[in-house]
Structure 1
Amino acid sequence: MIIFLIRALIFLVSAALGLIVADLLLPGFRIDWSTWWGFALAIVIFAVLQSILTPWIASVARRNAPALLGGIGIISTLVALVVVVVIPGAGVTIGQPFVLTWILAPVIVWLVTALATLFLPMIFLKRRIDDRRDGGATRA
């Protein structure tokens, strides 16, 4: 159960990192930092949508357009960003340059999120796994 919670936290942190990097790199991507709860809401909505949309879009693509299977992560990131931007109070807006930002934002957020979900478990779960191994070795 603890590892599940750690993985959920890692997914939330990776979503936050992806959104923050997009905010830093793209002039049209803006996080409203005046209210912390707006950004927290954006992170939770984005992470939940990503976890729901990715398998759903993959199954739709597998049936209807197998060529899209390689881009499922970016497509689900784009859809999740659209929802987060549309929800008032979610703390994320996309402005000028509009088209360029909508093209680059999903790529940046997806890339950072993918890298974070790859490397963060190595940092946080490695210690937990090492503790289990050490605990198991002393009991035997």
Structure 2
Amino acid sequence: MVRFLIRLGVSLALAAIALLVTSLLVPGMHLQWQGFLVAIVVFAAVQTFFEWLVEAVFRRGAPAVAGVAGLLSTAAALFVASLGDGINFDGVAAWVLAAVVVWLITALAGWLSGKYLLPRIAPKKQG
């Protein structure tokens, strides 16, 4: 349970950081502060759901499928989060570029946190 809560916190923090950095890097992406917290929660929830779904479908698939699926789940999560007031895009190009940037940030930071942060904070039980 502790590992789940830590993963949830890390996921929300990574979503917030990725969305903030992407809004600074991608000219056509805009964050509205009044809906930012909702956008973070919606983005993290949708991305987590899509990642679970892809993992269930492509359990034995190639790693390339997981990478493409992660990018597609990020794009879908950004689209769903943009239906509210937190995130806006000036066009399809900004949405696609934002999806790539958010995917790169969350993938790298997720890998680093899983490798270095989680084992130190909440090690797996032995036995």
Segments ≥4 residues shifted beyond 3 Å: 57-60, 121-124
RMSD, aligned CA: 2.7
Residue 42 of structure 1 aligns with an amino acid whose one-letter code is A
What is the aligned partner in structure 2 of residue 53 from structure 1? 50
What is the aligned partner in structure 2 of residue 3 from structure 1? 3
TM-score (norm 2): 0.80
Unpaired segments ≥5 residues, structure 1: 133-140
Percent of aligned pairs with the same residue?
A: 39
Question: 1:21 deviation in Å?
Answer: 1.3
For 2:115 and 2:17, locate their aligned partners in 1 and report how far apart those are by CA, in whole Å: 16
What is the aligned partner in structure 1 of residue 113 from structure 2? 120
Listed as ranges, the matches of 1:99-138 within 5 Å are 99-122=92-115, 124-129=117-122
Listed as ranges, the matches of 1:26-45 within 5 Å are 26-33=26-33, 35=34, 38-45=35-42
Could you tell me whether the CA contact under 8 Å between 1:10 and 1:121 is conserved in 2?
no
TM-score (norm 1): 0.73
Could you tell me whether the CA contact under 8 Å between 2:3 and 2:122 is conserved in 1?
no
Residue 125 of structure 1 aligns with an amino acid whose one-letter code is L
Question: 1:4 deviation in Å?
Answer: 1.4
Residue 70 of structure 2 is aligned with which of 48, 68, 73? 73
Structure number, greater radius of gyration: 1
For 1:55 and 1:5, locate their aligned partners in 2 and report how far apart those are by CA, in whole Å: 17
Unpaired segments ≥5 residues, structure 2: none
Residue 16 of structure 1 aligns with an amino acid whose one-letter code is A
Could you tell me whether the CA contact under 8 Å between 2:70 and 2:103 is conserved in 1?
yes
Deviations 1:84-136 (A, max 9, x none): 1112x3x11111xx232122111000110111112234554344257x9xxxx
Residue 92 of structure 1 aligns with an amino acid whose one-letter code is I
Deviations 1:10-68 (A, max 9, x none): 011111111111101011101112x2xx11110111111011112324556x5xxx8x8
What is the aligned partner in structure 2 of residue 19 from structure 1? 19
Q: Which has more helix, going by share of residues?
A: 1
Residue 92 of structure 1 is aligned with which of 87, 90, 100? 87
